[in-house]
Amino acid sequence: MFAKAFRVKSNTAVKGSDRRKLRTDVAAAFPAFGSEQLSELVPGKEELNAVKLYAHKGDAVTVYVNGSNPILFELRGTLYPTVYTLWSYPNLLPAFTTWPPVLEKLVGGADLMLPGLTVPPGGLPQVQQGDLCAITLVGNRAPVAVGVAIMSTAEMLASGLKGRGFTVLHTYLDHLWQFGDKSSPPSIAPLDQDPSKCVGNPKEEGPVQVDSILQDNLEHLTLQGDEESRVARPTSSSEAAEELGETEMDQDSTDTKTLQEQMDELLLRCFFHALKCRVTKADLPLLTSTFLEWVGEQGRKVPTPSIVTPCSSLHHYCFLFLTRISAVSSPEGQQLDIKKSSYKKLSKFLHHMVKEEIVQVKELSKGVESIVAVNWKHPSITSFVVPESSPAAQSVQEDTKEKPYRAPDIRSLYCIPANMTSLFQASGHKKGNTLSGNEVREIIIDYAKKNNLVDANNKKCLERLKPAYEVTFYGQEPIVKKGKICPIEITLAHRTYNKKVTLIQNLEVFGLDPYSVASILQQRCQASATITPVPGSKDAIQVQIQGNQINHLSRLLLEEYDIPRKYIHGLEKAPKAGKKK
């Protein structure tokens, strides 16, 4: 639910009477809470705010924030604890355990599949369909996700632990977690579960033990199957032992180097890997901020509790990308930490690359730097060989690859109003039904012939019908909506110092993600692009980009997205080409 950014509607302090009501609701939803724990969670005098927001899919959610961290969120009248709350009260919900690499999938918005579960010695916790559950990782009892059981424990076992098990609502590292202080999960040692409270027959199956070698090498995982592509399966312990032996041999050659030298070498590998795999000549000149967004797209799902991110927010996404590349470019078990390199910061490293004549960076406008050239013939680039990705990395890349946009098919329809129902009753239609123009014409001609009427082609009938339209997105069922379709509106506005900005609205009607469009325009126009709310509208958003960029926008919408011109308003405001002297 919070895999993508949400929009905050309001943020208000919770009053005394509302606090008492909230405390009562929490006690009813979670009977395990004692009176002291309720007072800690919902304090009487300390700061407590209610934040109303809209998730990226339009769901209205109320989040309760205690101090700096969200503690509860309410969706459709049901209260759910956040991971911050579960870290303080890990026994609040029945917990199911999965492998660490599965967290990456959950953060990306996937549900938890049953093959990804690990069965403890005492069996699985007893839950019913619809029960709230916590999801933990092997080796740590601190929950990293909150979900709802899709089936009971008995049904899970009867299915052979196959299929979807839990609908995941909130995870560590998602945008709701980012709304807090962004702290990492505490380390809580696992406890043996009481067999009387669990189902399953451990006597028949025997205790499930995790091989020590396998537990130390959880990164050796593969993603398999169509339905099971969202979960990770471990390799056998013998294979893990063999790979571990090879890793130790590779590490012997690096033991003679200092940690700083190893980090410098790893940083260079990541940089050249990024250049060869992402940047092309056609992309130049390239804003450094755009480059960081690109690398962020590939590294957005990478963070794990063990990753240390740098303080500089400007280079945050770049660091995440380099961490992802380091998983492929570096020996197993080695992790990138820029602070431990001799450069300390990415900005200093990039300046060093300029001195080495590998890239050229210029300030094309005040305060905005761009990569203007890459020396593709530099020996460091030509000699670098991109390492082969592991099966797990390849599966993740294929799963997260964006599908090409296909313009929807749009068909104008007419809706039958109450005052014209009698005209269409004979043909089997009633009030509210939608018809195409040809269908209306055929019905009227047939009606005119039966009743000996004249002027069968009179269009006054069409004018009296209410407008409607049908939208068919690729691979989906047609959607019929009443009223006229809202075209993509392109307008120009003036901001401070008489600067122009281009505003684009109603992209969602045509299945276009405003955030993706903004990112593409920012890259092509080499200008700042942001998402802003539409004035006077509660939920609508618009893309705002500096300057008159209608020419770029026209090529994007008409030529690449194949959206008919009649559904785009404002293209005539494009700047005219200057006259040649």
**Residue 241 domain flag:** no
Spell out the residues 6+ positions from residue 169 whose beta carbon is closer than 8 angstroms to its own.
1, 2, 75, 80, 146, 147, 148
Cβ–Cβ < 8 Å for 398, 390:
no
Q: Which of 482, 515, 538 is the last residue of a domain?
A: 482
d(CA 393, CA 333): 15
Q: What is residue 538's DSSP assignment?
A: S
**Residue 304 domain flag:** no
Is residue 461 located within the same domain as residue 545? no
Rounded to two decimals, what is the model's pTM? 0.39
**Residue 494 domain flag:** yes
Cβ–Cβ < 8 Å for 232, 99:
yes
Is residue 57 located within the same domain as residue 133? yes
Which residues are paired to 481 by β-bridges? 469
Residue 567's identity, in one-letter code, is: Y
User: Residue 29: which domain range?
Assistant: 7-179
**Residue 568 domain flag:** yes
Is residue 367 located within the same domain as residue 417? no
Spell out the residues 6+ positions from residue 484 whose beta carbon is closer than 8 angstroms to its own.
467, 469
Is residue 156 located within the same domain as residue 77? yes
Is residue 415 located within the same domain as residue 378? no
**Residue 98 domain flag:** yes
pLDDT for position 10: 85
d(CA 161, CA 378): 53
Spell out the residues 6+ positions from residue 356 whose beta carbon is closer than 8 angstroms to its own.
378, 380
Is residue 59 located within the same domain as residue 160? yes
The total of structural domains in the chain comes to: 4
pLDDT for position 177: 92
**Residue 497 domain flag:** yes
3-class SS of residue 213: helix
d(CA 228, CA 205): 24
Q: Which of 457, 482, 507 is the last residue of a domain?
A: 482
Residue showing tokens 């014409």: 441
d(CA 21, CA 31): 15
DSSP for 231-256? S-EEPPHHHHHHHHHHHHHHHHTTTT
Residue 447's identity, in one-letter code, is: Y
Is residue 505 located within the same domain as residue 527? yes
Is residue 467 located within the same domain as residue 494? no
Is residue 25 located within the same domain as residue 167? yes
Q: Which of 433, 458, 482 is the last residue of a domain?
A: 482
**Residue 367 domain flag:** yes
What tokens does 494 get? 């003036």
Q: From its phi and psi, is residue 494 left (phi > 0), alpha (psi between -120 and 50) or beta?
A: beta
Q: Please tell me the total number of residues recorded for the chain in this structure.
A: 581
Is residue 361 located within the same domain as residue 455? no
Is residue 544 located within the same domain as residue 475? no
d(CA 484, CA 464): 14
In terms of C-beta distances under 8 Å and separation of at least 24 residues, what long-range contacts does 528-533 make, across chains too? Answer: 533/7
What tokens does 218 get? 């959880």
Is residue 116 located within the same domain as residue 152? yes
Chain centroid to CA 468: how far? 33
pLDDT for position 200: 37
- 338-369 in b/e form (b: 16+ CB < 10 A) is bebbebebbeebbeebeeeebbebeeeeeeeb
**Residue 217 domain flag:** no
pLDDT tens for the chain, residues 1 to 581? 888 888 888 888 888 888 888 988 999 989 888 888 888 888 887 888 899 888 888 888 999 998 888 999 998 889 999 999 999 898 899 999 998 888 888 988 889 999 889 888 888 899 999 999 999 998 888 999 999 999 999 999 988 888 899 999 999 999 999 888 888 888 888 765 444 443 433 333 333 333 333 334 434 343 333 333 334 344 433 443 344 344 444 444 445 678 788 888 887 887 787 777 777 776 677 665 555 545 444 433 333 333 333 333 333 334 444 544 444 444 444 556 667 788 877 667 778 888 888 888 877 655 556 778 888 888 888 888 877 655 544 554 554 445 577 788 888 888 888 888 888 888 888 888 888 888 888 888 888 778 777 554 565 666 778 888 888 887 778 888 888 899 999 999 988 888 899 999 999 888 888 888 988 898 888 888 888 888 887 778 899 999 999 999 999 999 888 899 999 999 998 887 764 44
Which of 503, 545, 514, 544 lies closest to 527 in space, CA to CA?
Answer: 545
